[in-house]
Structure 1
């Protein structure tokens, strides 16, 4: 298929390929940040003018699509199903189920399709699919005729071209097809090579009986059709001829004339500019997270071929970063390969040895942020080459892409879920790029993108997880609205849960229209009936039930949108509160008992069942290596490992309980439950990548993650295989806080109390009665008394510098929110100041609120010279937002202070109590 198991998460490295692309005409590297911007950037369309609509849901591994001149959308699934979406009937219909050879669970099968340029006359469709012929597995390009009723004429098939593959290799298939302006058909093929014993570098293993580990036999072999982009001209009888200008002339010994581009790893999606016939493709690159003795780290690429060429794999990657010659038997490292004097001496090479010079990629990027193309982000990689758009004013579709995108090349990444529009100069060289629908696109693993004859964008989305039947796999369409935009309805209720009679105030005044000056009308529906045209109505629900309330907002031209709210009548939310006589923000960084009590009230439950009250205490040992958010946000992430996984690409290849590309997290946990070294070992493996534990597939490298982050991820994963063991504690009592002792003081104690009431039977609209049970949770988070500067919740004229705060001037301030100062007697600051003394004031609840502490400090003589100084603190009650305000009215009064941390020092009573407890 396409996804490189190592890239996608913890496993995607084997499928797609990792790439090596190049652009012959580029003479100097392009720095994206310094590139010339689009000439008409000021006329960039507003993103809210683009609308994404779902044409077909419930797909299973969709692969490639083609749009017919009449608007029909043909598309295929890897397992063999071929569909058509009818825009008139707005329905999707299965046309044929190909009996394909879909290897194991992930690779080969029905990989691609395209529509003949003269489809309106000849009705030809082409399919790239896997067959078994006389005991040998092959890839076939088959041509079929489709009837007027969209049925496929199976008997009409013509086998255009076939080539064998090594079936035992679960990697790198290619499968995309495209046409140029001269009616030539381009076909992408993967290198069909096992990448897993190369440490994410070049698979050039020349040992005996290991041909499938050597990409020199395929991508680097001029006499093999794998690892290539082919170019042929299909004749009316199903035969093909070779166009002028391919890489090797017909009849040249040791070569195949069909080859247009060689040296590809997995050119999974390709496109051809219909105006210039220039070829573009995304190349899925190798998985190494760092440079090594064998050569450079892995890069994905977007490539451009203005003419036939060799794009370097497996000898080069990116902008011709060279791999070293390497003996897999002796582990001896040789000299780097020479891009201008490439020689393929592999014993598995059946073609000529002297190869064409290697070409550079147009765009290349690793797992980490790219120095040349930083906009592309970090994380898993899966580059896909999309279409070039040519604006045609004569196209009648009012929703076609605007002229702003004329001549733009669209590229996308399956793993990172983005689409970029790339701009080229008059010589068709890279100029700049910008994200397409970056905030509203909600792309879900885009796997194929086409611009239809109507000028609208059609997109197949593979869905969230690799290799399974995703609920969110779908065919979508993106339209552009150049005219009137529908208003955005936003219904809000003051309360959504209560007892009958339940009076609720609703507001619709947050609804808005992007077209300024439009007159809006409002219609509210309660209990299925249109009741009110007010903007902010009130309604009373007389009976218990679950009701859907809708607000429809319409403009004067009839465009409208609807917002809904569910109102639950028949129960009220319980009250749960955690109380303590100790400080409710900080724990003292030595052993001490913490006293607490949980109170629960419920209007409907006369007696509170203690079994329904759940009180749990957990300790998170480390929140982050270098926190980039305030302490409020950090301490609210109570399952750090889980949240880190949710924000990474791991879920593309792993699920909690079900197997995907990689094993389930539960399986991983069970395998390593007795391994005391598992946390350190797996945390390191996530960063550097690896394989060979579960099968031959590799886990991708994640060099962008810190060791602390991967450690928390592993801890969460390993916890899943055990029986649920919660640190349950009584509803009232005291606990000894000791998990932090001897560790870095960056952890959090999280005390969670919850209650689920007994519920009541209510009747949702049009449904039978259901139990309406409600839950309420209260959380108390205790953090260390030492707070690093970067953990501030708000900054005003202050900047974060790692863990410190700097660039502080007169009037600058930072804020720590919801701080309890009970039993805290002073603040100790670790700071530096080169040459200016000033005053640091602490105010409660605003920059000009009650003054509760003052620090008059002297300079330390150097920014790198830090000292500690304390200031007394006035007693306060309750929690307050603390504003730390810097004051120096005389000039010069800039660059006053660098703060490393603040320590909230406990009172002598607390200290002595702590010592007494420890002494016992």
Structure 2
């Protein structure tokens, strides 16, 4: 509970920024092409055709005229390690980078950076000519060759961009394996270990790996060196092409065409925590170079956090590296030993939430730099972005699926950041660029590494600064029924963001009949003839823009009626192992009813389902129980970055979850071992690929994730059905969370159809909550109550007395006690303590009961999960039926926060 106020206040910071952001509904995401095979980089041609590459060697083109994507070239590339030397089958190599010449309209030149097929380990920068809609392979001119090693992974870089002077920038990775350094600095100087030593590349002034190169391509396929690179031409033990050095994997770069500033996202290492003698916890970086410089890797990370000079031979640590005087004395170094001073990152962040940049969030990390938007470059564009984004840098995250706009001052110093389109759904964006029309194009790689992900796509974000078409909502009170069928149509919810006057038209059509047109916003219509009808609502604004929504009406078959009643007990909560009496009734105009036995009981589907969350069943109760699926853990995995490395039943960069389940099924300590692995990261069990640490995931959440994974080893059996009348006793399966679960009873019936019309289904659902409610989820709370989130849990801080939180419509039938968990940490919150009164109807309504005085405590483990607070049990005055409950927090002597009310559990004994 430390620093709760600090975390909360930091969390409020973005709201002052978001108030200035253009309305999100002015932006539209349009999918241009999808189902790609590892798309990596794109370039937009002057006529809005889009070139993009796939890692296995295909160059593709999207045409806005035909709206089709074609292959315009296939480049033979290497994508494998040298298997004979112990490497992994799939490398990061391949077709890596793409851009077009600044003078493309005249010369049609396209630049590619790739790993050529063959036995020679190298990457090359080559120029080709685009002729019509095909890339002329025979026009190839190799500008630059960079020797590499292909025995071990990783880190290729490969991004290409240009400045306003026609200089080409190319990023390269450190070509170094991180797999034997525990996520810290890979500086293994032992003989034969150069693949594990980034001092051979990133901090080597005589090597082009781990760099951002700046050259000036010439017409004859050669290049010259611009003034201002890091080392002058002819300087011994240096390469003049180097603009910036000390990079790990600068995967996407961007050059501000106005001021020449270079930006990049550097994908950082994997260490989950600070380690004395090794170095800091891992961080990713967004870098900015206003001039040539050294950015520190592998000696420093983030804002120059230093690693120790660790000796892999003796396993002993030397001194910390000095950012003012970095020194490379590795035997694998062919360049200078005295290096330029290390420069700090522009923005940096760990796996956990960054205290300095909280908007970046938490989770996996893969930093990517996007373009800087300058409105003056889009004066004649059809859909230029608004002035709000003028001079802002767009950065994005491959793992966390966000785009952020960064504001700098005239010098280039960081000022603030804001989320760009917070509700935009992304599938691991891997490149983006503005097109001539002002649109933002984005390549989405998809969720899994080294896979042709079906969700991968090329999209375009269009901005509409003018009139917007209406947002149409169409509803009908009935969409099926017997003749004559009276239907009340509704357009309620239809809106126009520009507040234009709207015209409504309902057109009702049936094959072979003349359409009926209704012009009221919410008309009623009587269907007298048998058949299936289309009812189309068209809404037109004052500027002539329109949109439509369509409904289907089936006239001639009355839907069945299903009723589900709980005949005894509490109707808000379920209580484990306590019977619930229920009864289901079904009637259908054409089929009959359960009561007269024309509808057999076997045709009525009745299930009782325990769930950890609202989405998916844990176990379905009938004559036999279905196996557990641990949905809470699945939901946590779906919300995390796990899918970037794992799939349920197929291998990605990490093992399939089913493989993990089978391996650990009989291991009694599996939950503890794997939970620890999720939180701390690590490698070695499934190969050398390191799993990132997830310090933002708590032990309870990690355990739920592991329990779900382990459950995949179980064989699933279909559930049996319940009879129309009876008793069921809720059972919480192993791994289920009694504090978060719900119990759902569902009854449904599908009729036989009638008069040639298809069958209709009716159902009724009863949802009983867990008897434990989290007070942080209370829908209503008074002023001076702070709401905040810790992990997946919503919490409250009671900042002043005579405040309350309330739950509406709670059934108190059979409830005798309320048990409250309340934390009053004196050390972390300076809690004053107090009492909690429970009232009905209002904060001043009848008093059901109250706690004793809740004393503040000094125990640092209180409410940490190690030693949860003792429950405060309140015997309440009996009150049957549904009530609005108010939990009123009191302490008239308090001069600060009272406590943190965590949960309330309703008891029947």
TM-score under structure 1 normalisation?
A: 0.83
Summarize the Cα distance change of 1:211–1:862 in structure 2 as closer, same or farther, 3 Å threshold: closer
- Map 1:673-688 → 2, pairs under 5 A: 673-688=665-680
User: How far apart, CA to CA, are the structure 2 residues paired with 1:904 and 1:37?
Assistant: 35
User: How far apart, CA to CA, are the structure 2 residues paired with 1:860 and 1:95?
Assistant: 72
Structure 1 residue 684: Cα displacement: 1.0
1:536 equivalent in structure 2? 522
1:824 equivalent in structure 2? 815
User: How far apart, CA to CA, are the structure 1 residues paired with 2:210 and 2:871?
Assistant: 63
1:840 equivalent in structure 2? 837
User: How far apart, CA to CA, are the structure 2 residues paired with 1:220 and 1:345?
Assistant: 10
Summarize the Cα distance change of 1:717–1:602 in structure 2 as closer, same or farther, 3 Å threshold: farther
1:880 to 873, 879, 883: 883
User: How far apart, CA to CA, are the structure 1 residues paired with 2:873 and 2:608?
Assistant: 36
Summarize the Cα distance change of 1:393–1:123 in structure 2 as closer, same or farther, 3 Å threshold: closer
In the alignment, does 2:774 pair up with 1:792? no
1:347 equivalent in structure 2? 331
Q: Is the 8 A contact 1:824 1:904 kept in 2?
A: no
Structure 1 residue 860: Cα displacement: 6.7
Summarize the Cα distance change of 1:660–1:564 in structure 2 as closer, same or farther, 3 Å threshold: farther
Q: Is the 8 A contact 1:842 1:854 kept in 2?
A: yes
Q: Secondary structure at the match of 2:403?
A: strand
Summarize the Cα distance change of 1:862–1:328 in structure 2 as closer, same or farther, 3 Å threshold: closer
Structure 1 residue 413: Cα displacement: 0.9
2:362 equivalent in structure 1? 378
Q: Secondary structure at the match of 2:116?
A: strand
2:502 equivalent in structure 1? 520
Structure 1 residue 751: Cα displacement: 3.7
Q: Secondary structure at the match of 2:564?
A: strand
1:202 equivalent in structure 2? 185
- Map 1:83-122 → 2, pairs under 5 A: 83-103=60-80, 104-105=89-90, 107-122=92-107
User: How far apart, CA to CA, are the structure 2 residues paired with 1:450 and 1:99?
Assistant: 26
**Deviations, residues 328-375 of structure 1 (Å, cap 9, x unaligned):** 343322221111221222222222222221110000011111111111
Summarize the Cα distance change of 1:903–1:369 in structure 2 as closer, same or farther, 3 Å threshold: closer
Summarize the Cα distance change of 1:430–1:37 in structure 2 as closer, same or farther, 3 Å threshold: farther
- Map 1:486-885 → 2, pairs under 5 A: 486-496=469-479, 502-516=485-499, 518-527=500-509, 531-539=517-525, 549-565=535-551, 570=557, 572=559, 575=562, 577=564, 579=566, 581-585=568-572, 593-597=578-582, 599=584, 601=586, 603=588, 604=591, 606-610=598-602, 613=605, 615-616=607-608, 618=610, 639-724=631-716, 731=723, 747=739, 750-755=742-747, 757-758=749-750, 760=752, 777-784=765-772, 789-790=775-776, 792-797=778-783, 798-799=785-786, 807=798, 812-827=803-818, 840=837, 842-844=839-841, 851=846, 853=848, 855=850, 873-885=876-888
User: How far apart, CA to CA, are the structure 2 residues paired with 1:500 and 1:710?
Assistant: 56
User: How far apart, CA to CA, are the structure 1 residues paired with 2:431 and 2:136?
Assistant: 25
- Map 1:202-281 → 2, pairs under 5 A: 202-281=185-264
1:389 to 373, 385, 409: 373
Structure 1 residue 572: Cα displacement: 3.6
User: How far apart, CA to CA, are the structure 2 residues paired with 1:320 and 1:549?
Assistant: 64
1:12 equivalent in structure 2? none
1:132 to 86, 92, 117: 117
Q: Which has the higher contact order (CA 8 A, sep 6+)?
A: 1
User: How far apart, CA to CA, are the structure 1 residues paired with 2:905 and 2:296?
Assistant: 60
Q: Is the 8 A contact 2:256 2:262 kept in 1?
A: yes
Summarize the Cα distance change of 1:405–1:620 in structure 2 as closer, same or farther, 3 Å threshold: closer
Summarize the Cα distance change of 1:892–1:372 in structure 2 as closer, same or farther, 3 Å threshold: closer
Q: Is the 8 A contact 1:56 1:475 kept in 2?
A: yes
- Map 1:55-66 → 2, pairs under 5 A: 55-66=32-43
Q: Secondary structure at the match of 2:42?
A: strand
User: How far apart, CA to CA, are the structure 1 residues paired with 2:508 and 2:688?
Assistant: 58
Summarize the Cα distance change of 1:221–1:609 in structure 2 as closer, same or farther, 3 Å threshold: farther
User: How far apart, CA to CA, are the structure 1 residues paired with 2:16 and 2:699?
Assistant: 44
Q: Is the 8 A contact 2:179 2:690 kept in 1?
A: yes
Structure 1 residue 664: Cα displacement: 2.2
Q: Relative to structure 2, which stretch is displaced further, 797-806 or 102-111? A: 797-806
In the alignment, does 2:307 pair up with 1:323? yes
User: How far apart, CA to CA, are the structure 1 residues paired with 2:249 and 2:264?
Assistant: 10
Q: Relative to structure 2, which stretch is displaced further, 827-836 or 813-822? A: 827-836
User: How far apart, CA to CA, are the structure 1 residues paired with 2:187 and 2:530?
Assistant: 71
**Deviations, residues 455-488 of structure 1 (Å, cap 9, x unaligned):** 3322212234333223332222222222212221
Summarize the Cα distance change of 1:880–1:654 in structure 2 as closer, same or farther, 3 Å threshold: farther
Q: Secondary structure at the match of 1:107?
A: coil
- Map 1:154-169 → 2, pairs under 5 A: 154-169=137-152
Uncovered stretches (5+) of structure 1, i.e. residues with no partner: 1-31, 624-636, 912-920
Q: Is the 8 A contact 2:440 2:460 kept in 1?
A: yes
Summarize the Cα distance change of 1:226–1:771 in structure 2 as closer, same or farther, 3 Å threshold: farther
Summarize the Cα distance change of 1:504–1:660 in structure 2 as closer, same or farther, 3 Å threshold: farther
User: How far apart, CA to CA, are the structure 2 residues paired with 1:246 and 1:36?
Assistant: 39
**Deviations, residues 475-529 of structure 1 (Å, cap 9, x unaligned):** 222222222122211223334465665543221131111113x121123344475
Uncovered stretches (5+) of structure 2, i.e. residues with no partner: 1-8, 81-88, 616-628, 825-830, 860-868
Summarize the Cα distance change of 1:468–1:526 in structure 2 as closer, same or farther, 3 Å threshold: farther
Q: Is the 8 A contact 1:616 1:728 kept in 2?
A: no
1:629 equivalent in structure 2? none
User: How far apart, CA to CA, are the structure 2 residues paired with 1:697 and 1:836?
Assistant: 49
Q: Is the 8 A contact 1:379 1:649 kept in 2?
A: yes
Structure 1 residue 737: Cα displacement: 7.1
- Map 1:422-437 → 2, pairs under 5 A: 422-437=406-421
User: How far apart, CA to CA, are the structure 1 residues paired with 2:121 and 2:344?
Assistant: 33
Superposition CA RMSD, Å: 3.9
Q: Relative to structure 2, which stretch is displaced further, 562-571 or 831-840? A: 831-840
Q: Secondary structure at the match of 2:102?
A: coil
Summarize the Cα distance change of 1:139–1:840 in structure 2 as closer, same or farther, 3 Å threshold: same
Structure 1 residue 657: Cα displacement: 2.2
User: How far apart, CA to CA, are the structure 2 residues paired with 1:763 and 1:392?
Assistant: 66
Q: Secondary structure at the match of 1:460?
A: strand
**Deviations, residues 89-116 of structure 1 (Å, cap 9, x unaligned):** 4333321222222335562222121010
User: How far apart, CA to CA, are the structure 1 residues paired with 2:871 and 2:136?
Assistant: 83
1:21 equivalent in structure 2? none
TM-score under structure 2 normalisation?
A: 0.84
Q: Is the 8 A contact 2:771 2:905 kept in 1?
A: no
